[in-house]
Structure 1
């Protein structure tokens, strides 16, 4: 499993709207994509202007083969819904999930 990790800066008064629109627009679109396994939204109680998105993909190919045209179209729709310039991706990363069996 691959994790796409995004840290977003959003104005505190728009944080809840950001989370709602992200679920409606981005997660709705991603959920139709082969290899998309789910998504978590993390909020930091100490930083009201921060949202972390943890997106689970079956493998790197599924993530990287997401169509660029759909990505652009979805971002435009999201930007219109939330307001251009009201959020910014400030950090991003890629992680592999490793699980080890627990000893009995």
Structure 2
């Protein structure tokens, strides 16, 4: 499993609407692609501007197979719905390692 990690700075007054629209637009769109396993939303209780998305993909190939044009169209729809009160501040890729319990 591969993790797509995205950290955003969001206007704190828009945070809940931002998260709801993300679920409606981004998560719904990504769920249509093969290899999408799910998505978690992490909010920082001490920093109301921080929103983290942890997106689970079966493989990196599945994740990277989404056409750029599709991603741009989804982002355009999303930004029209929520405005410009957010900024991507960090992104990364992680692999999940599981170890047997002793």
TM band (smaller chain): over 0.9
Question: What is the total number of aligned residue pairs between the two structures?
Answer: 102
* Residues in 1 aligned to 2:35 and 2:23: alpha-carbon distance in whole angstroms: 18
* Residues in 2 aligned to 1:3 and 1:66: alpha-carbon distance in whole angstroms: 15
**Structure 2 residue aligned with 1:43:** 43
Superposed CA deviations along residues 8-44 of structure 1, whole A, max 9, x for unmatched, are 0010000000000000000000000000000000000
Q: Does 1:99 pair with 2:76?
A: no
In structure 2, the gaps of 5 or more residues are none
**Structure 1 residue aligned with 2:78:** 78
* SS of alignment partner, residue 102 of structure 1: coil
Instruction: Tell me the TM-score normalized by structure 1.
Output: 0.96
In structure 1, the gaps of 5 or more residues are none
* Residues in 2 aligned to 1:89 and 1:80: alpha-carbon distance in whole angstroms: 16
Task: List 4+ stretches of structure 1 deviating above 6 A.
Answer: none
Q: Once superposed, what is the RMSD of the aligned Cα atoms? A: 0.6
* SS of alignment partner, residue 101 of structure 1: coil
